Amino acid sequence: MGCKAMDEKQESKTMSFEERLALVQGMTSRIEAGSLPLEDAVKEYEEGMKILSQLDEELSEMNRRLTVLQNGKETAIPDENI
């Protein structure tokens, strides 16, 4: 795995949603290109899945917030009601 990929992954916690999505897209491209050794491809896949999981959680939270706003309520609804 290249140094650039490691730097990107370490910074992923401070990146915007869009930047992290682009990071995963870059990982996908590297894996699909077939030029990575198997071990590196697996590491890229694992890291990409972690980031995608975080992005999915953020999307769910945003969707919940939008639903609350659309219903005209300003108070947060408990997650168990979703």
Greater confidence (39 vs 73) lies with: 39
The DSSP call for residue 1 is -
Split into its structural domains, the chain has a count of: 1
- Look up the domain containing 28 and give its range: 3-81
Reported as a single tens digit per residue, the pLDDT across 30-67 is: 999 999 999 999 999 999 999 999 999 999 999 998 88
Phi, psi at 72, each rounded to 5°: 75, 15
CA proximity to 51, closest of 79, 81, 82, 11: 11
Q: Where are the beta strands (DSSP E) in 1-82?
A: none
CA proximity to 59, closest of 75, 30, 82, 43: 82
pTM of the model: 0.68
